[in-house]
Amino acid sequence: MCARRGVAVLLLVGLAALLGCRQFGSILYLLSPRQIEPAEFELTKGLLAIVIDAARPDEENPVFNQALFDKLVEILREKKVLAEVVPAGEITDLRHSDPKFSSWSIQRIGRRLSAAQVLYLRIDELQLREGADTPVVSPHVSLRVKVVGTDVPALHARLWPEESEGREVTCARPTEEATDADIVDAAAVKLGRDTAQLVARFFTEFDREEPVPKEP
């Protein structure tokens, strides 16, 4: 075994001499083991409700919400997360079924959907246009994420994280001209999909050496 290690060391030293430090460093990087970060929290294997709320009603954006929801579900499936996600339409129907929905607790929402857990996303700030009359979009969102259990006492309902307000996520995209509503909607979709990539990292493993994917 020692002899084999000695041969390996000599080969590496010889390779370094032939290629130079920069090229050799690149090879070592490629050969090094992946830096896999495990999921911070494991979501239920049962029914999961993904609920998205806006702190300010005037910042409610269905296009952004749908893109965030759809991409998040796509990533969870790709990463083999076993949760069965409640369809977005069922949450919308429940939201419209009672005018007092906004006053319901997260637990109550989850129970009405028969979900074991609620992945709750609270949007604190969402900006698309820089101003109502400005032909420019500068997409930015700030939100908080937490997971609430529905079959536990209310005092212990928050399963993750320790922070009572949830884990903060911010995402922004480059500024661009927005001459019509279609461009604004397209920016909302891209921002939603980029945000989903950041949210998903709490619940799936990922390679720390790989950049967070972003929409082109």
Q: Residue 102 above 70 pLDDT? A: yes
Pair (10, 108) in one structural domain = no
Pair (17, 102) in one structural domain = no
Residue-level pLDDT at 9: 46
Pair (118, 101) in one structural domain = yes
Tell me the pLDDT tens digit for each residue of 103-138. Answer: 999 999 999 999 999 999 999 999 998 777 788 999
Tell me the pLDDT tens digit for each residue of 50-63. Answer: 999 999 988 899 99
Q: Which residue segment(s) compose the domain that 7 sits in?
A: 2-32
SS3 label, residue 177: strand
What pTM did the predictor assign?
0.84
Pair (6, 92) in one structural domain = no
Q: Is 80 left (phi over 0), alpha (psi -120 to 50) or beta?
A: left
Pair (45, 87) in one structural domain = yes
Q: Which of 133, 181, 161, 193 is nearest to 39 (CA)?
A: 161
Write down the mean pLDDT value for the chain.
Answer: 89
